[in-house]
């Protein structure tokens, strides 16, 4: 009874606080554990180099894999000791320079439970790329076992003490290694002895830890690396800063533990909403390599500063510089992948060949989204929609947050505020627009609520440590959480998105998964207790970082099922894990309306792209707080180049639709949004590149200029594809900014066409019209210059090609087109053209792969061709094979531009976008 009274009191408190809840739950450092308050992290950090004495025995090739037993040296000599249980090591190699190393307890010795291996992340087709190892060679008096990896690389297992590393065949230079410093530790499951205390307590919460400590830790070294990147999500720089070492200010490790963090702070290694344990190294002398640990338990990672091991006595190859890192996890197994690169794009391609390529979004999803917590009712929705038209600002998606539901019951509507949801959606769809509603994983515990009733009866909820349905607190009050780790439950959840079950939904409605870390207001660190139980007795501590991934997966599958497999899903998720790129978009969570959060959004998005999540963005304007008009405008100007472009705001903030800040600022925001719509063909082509190769839409400069050291730590500018460079403005009332333009070729201002030399830093005047953006010489960018209400209404519009010539008077670019919504492109129903300018001729080539069973055609034409940097001024051109003569004139770079400059232009060549043709300038 006391518990019930306590829960009712908490519910009353939540209701009483209402809109002030965010301030109560805002980020408070003391509410979250530090490394010293986390036993596995504290213990691991106290280990000394060389403390691992594991030795590899019985090294052999079995079923195409290298296998070995790992035993402590002293226990091998004294096999009667309790600690003599061997660990089993297996090493597999795959095509394209990929190594997989697994270490686990020996199942034949019947450990207390099977340690958790994360399912449904690694692509099944990876097995088809496995190389069947035939032989094992030895070196240095049989102390090293060597296996083939690829033509340029091999993998080495050192026996005593054990170490695994990849090296180049020629010169034997190392690339990446594990346990070179002897920090490996693997706590095997044991039986609790009388008097032992296994429970952990933090802030009034008790973790029963029924299996005791089961942590794993080890060191990983990246050779010839200048910087390391990756392991999102943290609000910090792109290049990861050292967290330990001489002269380094005391720091927490980078934490990977999915958390609901209100008003997070920037420049912090503190973990946020998602976790991807994938790190990339890059250096000028060797190139790029990567390391991935498939483990969904809490992880802490140190980046070790130079000299951290000066007193260890361990001697590593002195001819190679390196960056050492230290990885610590609470549970799971060692299931790691090494990627040898050698280029940045190679590593991302290799990683996404293991965890999956990014899904191909619908065209509308790549355009502008308008969101707020919350648009009040149908009248508010209609008014906002009409105001966009009135102010001539295009948009594609209007979003509804939690207040649209019936008492926070997801897949329902507040029938007073939204009495006609289908009609509301159809009005938007008539303009080519879509709607997104929020669906979170916490289910209101209400016996009259159809979702709770069915989930409860079927036993589909996560259990608490005693085996009862877990009951936590979130927006609806008392809530339970679906056990989406279970495939059966994911399938059931997917079926809830049919229009018959989700009453009031239509095919133009898509979904937003929030709070799926999972967020639990009264849980430890605002999340689910670690000793909660999933299918098969899996503890939540083992699967925590992947919970949101499985929820995202199930929701995405639901939208595919709703459309009978013919409609690409759009699902935005806040929590993520490795593989989330296969299921939709993510965003950087609850940021704040200040300049620092605008600044940190760029490295956060770049890091997500490097780790597979190409479709990402940050809330334009900041979720919390009221942005000054200048900040809001600057955010739109850079947000227009985010892969995912959405404005969003907390319900306590002032309304901030684009037309509420005066005519001039409305004009500036309109121009920023219109620039995105003009560039949609270019963005959509880049999303297809990501879908086929894993290479992100938004890229660090060093991805395109891997040997230019000036780019390695630059995260104020970024590339959009290989053609555009964007530099943000991150200070108020800025009059000047410095922009580094890499490479030997020139760059053309995207708005004015002004030419800037490459390889130098330019001090540029800053105008209010835009952030600096440049097209690289040697590229061709496709645009659509006719501006409509939405991307859907632009489908049949003609294209413009902007050709930026390099010093050799050459350029090339690509254009990808499909129907923008279905999966038919997977069967060959698309157009893919490469445009090449060389020797005074522009040629269109078909680069689509062999056609499949589906076909796609387009009647669209090229309406304008703009030539930048031509050494002469041609007067006319001939279109072949028609042998048709067209005039060449001077025209503006942007049709609505106030700039007086004009450039070589062909108006209305009207060549089909889907055909082969050549235009020869005379």
- The enclosing domain of 614 has a CATH number of 3.20.20.80
Q: Is the dihedral of CA 527, 531, 537, 542 positive or negative?
A: positive
What is the domain extent for residue 464?
A: 366-679
CA 591 to the chain's CA centroid:
16
Q: Are 402 and 289 in a shared domain?
A: no
Does the residue 221 lie in any domain? Answer: yes
Q: Cβ–Cβ contacts within 10 Å for residue 659, how many?
A: 17
Q: Are 190 and 106 in a shared domain?
A: yes
Q: Are 411 and 327 in a shared domain?
A: no
**Among all residues, which ones are annotated catalytic?**
514, 517, 590
CB neighbours of 82 closer than 8 A, spacing ≥ 6?
none
Q: Are 307 and 433 in a shared domain?
A: no
State how far the Cα of 512 lies from the Cα of 639, in Å rounded to an integer: 19
State how far the Cα of 582 lies from the Cα of 836, in Å rounded to an integer: 32
Q: Are 380 and 435 in a shared domain?
A: yes
pLDDT in tens, 591-635: 999 999 999 999 999 999 999 999 999 999 999 999 999 999 999
Q: Is the dihedral of CA 262, 268, 269, 275 positive or negative?
A: positive
Does the residue 791 lie in any domain? Answer: no
State the DSSP H helix or E strand holding residue 87, giving kind and residue range, or none if neither: strand 87-94
Q: Are 309 and 440 in a shared domain?
A: no
CB neighbours of 659 closer than 8 A, spacing ≥ 6?
387, 390, 391, 393, 666
Does the residue 356 lie in any domain? Answer: no
- The encoded tokens of residue 277 equal 């344990």
Q: Are 412 and 303 in a shared domain?
A: no
Does the residue 912 lie in any domain? Answer: yes
Does the residue 854 lie in any domain? Answer: yes
pLDDT at 84: 66
Q: Are 370 and 314 in a shared domain?
A: no
Does the residue 289 lie in any domain? Answer: yes
How many separate domains does the chain show? 3
CA 709 to the chain's CA centroid:
25
Q: Cβ–Cβ contacts within 10 Å for residue 100, how many?
A: 20
Q: How far is CA 44 from CA 70, 215, 302, in A?
A: 20, 9, 11
pLDDT at 896: 79
Q: Are 157 and 227 in a shared domain?
A: yes
Chunk the chain into consecutive blocks of 10 residues (it has 922) and report each block's average pLDDT, rounded to whole numbers.
39 39 55 95 95 96 97 63 79 98 95 95 97 92 94 96 96 96 96 90 94 97 98 97 91 96 87 98 95 98 93 76 97 98 98 98 98 97 98 98 98 98 98 98 98 98 97 98 98 98 98 98 97 97 98 98 96 98 98 97 98 98 98 98 98 97 98 98 98 98 98 98 98 97 98 97 96 98 96 97 98 98 95 97 92 84 97 93 94 83 94 97 92
CA distance between the termini of the chain: 90
Residue 178's CATH number: 2.60.40.1760
CA angle 558, 559, 561 (to 5 degrees): 65
CB neighbours of 120 closer than 8 A, spacing ≥ 6?
487, 550, 553, 579
Q: Is-contact 718 616, C-beta < 8 A? A: no
State how far the Cα of 116 lies from the Cα of 109, in Å rounded to an integer: 17
Q: Is-contact 422 781, C-beta < 8 A? A: no
311-317, long-range: CB < 8 A, 24+ apart: 312/48, 312/49, 312/50, 312/181, 313/49, 313/50, 314/49, 314/50, 314/180, 314/181, 314/182, 316/180, 316/181, 316/221, 317/173, 317/174, 317/223
pLDDT at 4: 37
Q: Is the peptide bond before 342 cis (omega within 30 degrees of 0)?
A: yes
pLDDT in tens, 28-67: 778 899 999 999 999 999 999 999 999 999 999 999 999 9
Last residue of a domain, one of 661, 679, 697: 679
Residue 863's CATH number: 2.60.40.1180
State how far the Cα of 199 lies from the Cα of 39, in Å rounded to an integer: 11
- The encoded tokens of residue 579 equal 């593989």
pLDDT at 560: 98
State how far the Cα of 719 lies from the Cα of 703, in Å rounded to an integer: 9
pLDDT at 895: 85
Does the residue 281 lie in any domain? Answer: yes
State how far the Cα of 532 lies from the Cα of 159, in Å rounded to an integer: 39
Q: Are 64 and 192 in a shared domain?
A: yes
Last residue of a domain, one of 645, 679, 713: 679
Last residue of a domain, one of 300, 325, 340: 340
pLDDT at 23: 37
Q: Are 449 and 593 in a shared domain?
A: yes
Closest to 868 (Cα-Cα) out of 766, 769, 745, 719: 745
Does the residue 623 lie in any domain? Answer: yes
Q: Are 446 and 491 in a shared domain?
A: yes
pTM: 0.96
State how far the Cα of 185 lies from the Cα of 178, in Å rounded to an integer: 12
């Amino acid at each position: 009874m006391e518990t019930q009274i306590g829960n009712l009191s908490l519910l009353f408190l939540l209701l009483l606080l209402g809109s002030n809840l965010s301030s109560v739950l805002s980020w408070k450092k003391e509410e979250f554990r530090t490394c010293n308050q986390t036993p596995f992290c504290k213990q691991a950090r106290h280990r000394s180099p060389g403390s691992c004495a594991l030795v590899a025995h019985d090294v052999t090739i079995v079923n195409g894999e290298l296998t070995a037993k790992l035993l402590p040296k002293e226990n091998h000599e004294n096999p009667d000791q309790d600690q003599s249980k061997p660990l089993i090591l297996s090493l597999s190699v795959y095509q394209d320079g990929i190594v997989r190393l697994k270490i686990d307890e020996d199942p034949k010795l019947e450990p207390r439970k099977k340690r958790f291996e994360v399912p449904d992340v690694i692509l099944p087709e990876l097995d088809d790329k496995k190389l069947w190892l035939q032989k094992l060679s030895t070196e240095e008096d049989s102390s090293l076992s060597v296996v083939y990896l690829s033509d340029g690389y091999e993998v080495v297992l050192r026996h005593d003490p054990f170490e695994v590393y990849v090296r180049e065949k020629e010169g034997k230079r190392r690339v990446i290694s594990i346990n070179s410093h002897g920090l490996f530790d693997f706590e095997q499951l044991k039986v609790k002895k009388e008097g032992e205390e296994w429970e952990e307590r933090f802030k009034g919460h008790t973790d029963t830890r029924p299996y005791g400590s089961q942590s794993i830790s080890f060191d990983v070294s990246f050779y010839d690396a200048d910087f390391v990147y990756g392991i999102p999500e943290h609000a910090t720089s792109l290049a990861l800063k050292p967290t330990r070492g001489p002269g380094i200010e005391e720091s927490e490790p980078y934490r990977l533990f999915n958390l609901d963090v209100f008003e997070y702070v920037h420049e912090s290694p503190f973990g946020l909403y998602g976790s991807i344990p994938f790190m990339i190294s890059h250096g000028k002398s060797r190139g790029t390599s990567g390391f991935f640990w498939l483990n969904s338990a809490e992880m802490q990672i140190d980046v070790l500063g130079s000299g951290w091991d000066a007193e260890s006595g361990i001697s590593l190859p002195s001819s190679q510089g390196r960056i050492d890192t230290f990885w610590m996890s609470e549970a799971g197994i060692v299931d790691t992948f090494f990627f040898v690169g050698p280029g940045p794009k190679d590593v991302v391609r290799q990683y996404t060949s293991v965890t999956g390529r990014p899904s191909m979004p619908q065209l509308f999803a790549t355009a502008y989204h308008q969101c707020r917590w919350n648009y009040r009712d149908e009248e508010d929705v209609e008014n906002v929609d009409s105001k966009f038209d009135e102010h001539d600002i295009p948009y594609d998606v209007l979003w509804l947050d939690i207040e649209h539901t019936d008492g926070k019951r997801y897949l329902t509507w507040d029938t007073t505020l939204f009495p006609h949801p289908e009609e509301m959606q159809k009005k938007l769809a008539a303009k080519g627009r879509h709607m997104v509603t929020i669906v979170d994983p916490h289910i209101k515990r209400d016996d009259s609520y159809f979702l709770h009733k069915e989930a409860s009866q079927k036993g589909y909820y996560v259990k608490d440590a005693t085996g009862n349905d877990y009951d936590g607190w979130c927006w609806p009050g008392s809530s339970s959480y679906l056990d989406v780790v279970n495939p059966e439950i994911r399938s059931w959840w997917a079926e809830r998105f049919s229009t018959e079950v989700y009453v009031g939904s239509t095919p133009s409605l898509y979904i937003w998964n929030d709070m799926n870390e999972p967020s639990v207001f009264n849980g430890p660190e605002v999340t689910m207790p670690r000793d909660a139980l999933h299918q098969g007795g899996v503890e939540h501590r083992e699967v925590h970082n992947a919970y949101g991934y499985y929820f995202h997966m199930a929701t995405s599958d639901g939208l595919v099922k709703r459309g009978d497999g013919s409609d690409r899903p759009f699902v935005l998720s806040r929590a993520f894990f490795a593989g989330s790129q296969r299921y939709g978009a993510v965003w950087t969570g609850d940021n704040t309306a200040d300049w620092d959060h605008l600044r940190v959004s760029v490295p956060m998005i770049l890091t997500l792209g490097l780790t597979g999540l190409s479709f990402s963005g940050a809330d334009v304007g900041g979720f919390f707080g009221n942005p000054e008009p200048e900040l809001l405008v600057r955010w739109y100007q850079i947000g227009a180049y985010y892969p995912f472009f959405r404005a969003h705001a907390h319900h306590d903030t002032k309304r901030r639709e684009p037309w509420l800040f005066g005519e001039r600022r409305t004009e500036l925001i309109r121009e920023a949004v219109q620039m995105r719509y003009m560039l949609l063909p270019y963005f959509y082509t880049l999303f297809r590149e990501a879908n086929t190769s894993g290479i992100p839409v938004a890229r660090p400069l060093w991805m395109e200029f891997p040997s230019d050291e000036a780019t390695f730590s630059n995260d104020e500018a970024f590339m959009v594809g290989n053609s555009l460079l964007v530099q943000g403005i991150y200070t108020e009332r800025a009059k000047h900014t410095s922009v580094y333009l890499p490479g030997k070729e020139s760059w053309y201002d995207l708005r004015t066409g002004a030419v800037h030399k490459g390889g130098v830093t330019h001090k540029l005047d800053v105008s209010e019209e835009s952030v600096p953006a440049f097209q690289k010489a040697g590229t061709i960018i496709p645009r659509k210059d006719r501006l409509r209400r939405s991307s859907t209404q632009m489908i049949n519009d003609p294209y413009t090609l902007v050709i930026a010539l390099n010093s050799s008077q050459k350029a090339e670019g690509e254009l990808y087109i499909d129907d923008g919504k279905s999966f038919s492109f997977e069967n060959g129903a698309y157009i893919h053209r490469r445009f090449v300018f060389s020797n005074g001729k522009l040629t269109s080539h078909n680069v689509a792969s062999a056609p499949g069973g589906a076909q796609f055609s387009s009647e669209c034409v090229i309406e304008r061709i703009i030539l930048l940097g031509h050494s002469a001024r041609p007067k006319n051109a001939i279109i072949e094979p028609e042998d048709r003569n067209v005039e060449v004139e001077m025209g503006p770079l942007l049709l609505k531009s106030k700039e007086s400059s004009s450039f070589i232009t062909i108006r209305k060549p009207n060549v089909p976008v889907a055909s082969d043709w050549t235009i020869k300038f005379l």
